[in-house]
Amino acid sequence: MVVIKSSRELEKMKESCRISANALKIAGKAVQPGVSTLEIDTVVRKYIEKAGATPSFLGYGGFPASACISVNNVVIHGIPSKKQILKEGDIVSVDVGAFYDGFHGDNAYTFKCGKVSPEAEALLEATQNSLFEGIKAAKAGNRIGDIGSAVQRYVEGRSYSVVRDFVGHGVGAKLHEDPSVPNYGTPGRGPRLIPGMTIAIEPMVNIGNYKVRVLPDKWTTVTADGSLAAHFEHTIAITADGPKILTIPDIE
């Protein structure tokens, strides 16, 4: 069931989303050669808890960390580790959520660790741009398929592929709510977008084939062909005046 938020609930969500966005920005500053992914996770957790919030992912379904940190061919759900040390040229997806005053915020960004290859640079640019194409399509009166179609057209038009096995989602009092928000689809299909809906749009884009596989830890999801992957995400609200991005940081 799709949950429509009142104006008061949307105001609460703005705060959880602000905390999530700030935590993500802080994580990005920590992405440096020689840093472990566990160190980045620690920075994220400390910021969220200092803000009076709770990391949305910590313990969710048994996930053991506060952020999903996914490097190079890891698409999503990478588990932070003191053994995984970042190196120059890595691309590092950090996915962060915060729960505050009854609501979740959820966002992700793929950061460059030092100087990356032109191939990686192009992938990051295309994936981030596809997120904004999806957001532009998230207008009241449109349908979920319009969002997925916009993302898919942009990505495939640049000869990349969109992951099928994992999708965006509604977000609010629960981290994952209805509706599912695929990054592919047919215009005019799926649930209608109504003011008060809050959804996480999150393109996951591979340089190679769209197929992925989940490792034995039951979380870490990698590209099946070993190619690079990128992941960007915003939580947005559907409003009568157009889509509004909620996960906006307010720190430098």
Q: For each of the chain's 252 residues, which pLDDT tens digit applies?
A: 999 999 999 999 999 999 999 999 999 999 999 999 999 999 999 999 999 999 999 999 999 999 999 999 999 999 999 999 999 999 999 999 999 999 999 999 999 999 999 999 999 999 999 999 999 999 999 999 999 999 999 999 999 999 999 999 999 999 999 999 999 999 999 999 999 999 999 999 999 999 999 999 999 999 999 999 999 999 999 999 999 999 999 998
What's the pLDDT score for residue 44? Answer: 98
In whole angstroms, how large is the CA radius of gyration of the chain? 17
Tokens of 16: 């959880």
What's the pLDDT score for residue 61? Answer: 97
Instruction: Give domain limits for the chain.
Output: 7-245
**For the chain, what is the HEC assignment?**
CECCCCHHHHHHHHHHHHHHHHHHHHHHHHCCCCCEHHHHHHHHHHHHHHCCCEECCCCHHHCCCCEEEEECCEEECCCCCCCCECCCCCEEEEEEEEEECCEEEEEEEEEECCCCCHHHHHHHHHHHHHHHHHHHCCCCCCEHHHHHHHHHHHHHCCCCEECCCCCEEECCCCCCEEEEECCCCCCCCCCECCCCCEEEECCEEECCCCCEEECCCCCCEEECCCCCEEECEEEEECCCCCCEECCCCCCC
Instruction: State the chain's maximal CA–CA distance in angstroms.
Output: 48
What is the rounded CA–CA span in Å between residue 157 and residue 196? Answer: 32
Q: How far is CA 30 from the centre of its chain?
A: 18
What's the pLDDT score for residue 252? Answer: 84
Which residues on adjacent β-strands are paired with residue 213?
222
Amino acid letter for position 108: A
CATH for 7-245, among 3.30.930.10, 2.60.120.620, 3.90.230.10, 3.30.43.10?
3.90.230.10
What is the rounded CA–CA span in Å between residue 28 and residue 160? Answer: 24
Backbone angles phi, psi at 164, to 5 degrees: -100, -30
Q: How far is CA 135 from the centre of its chain?
A: 13
Residue in 82, 95, 93, 101 with CA at minimum distance from that of residue 36: 82
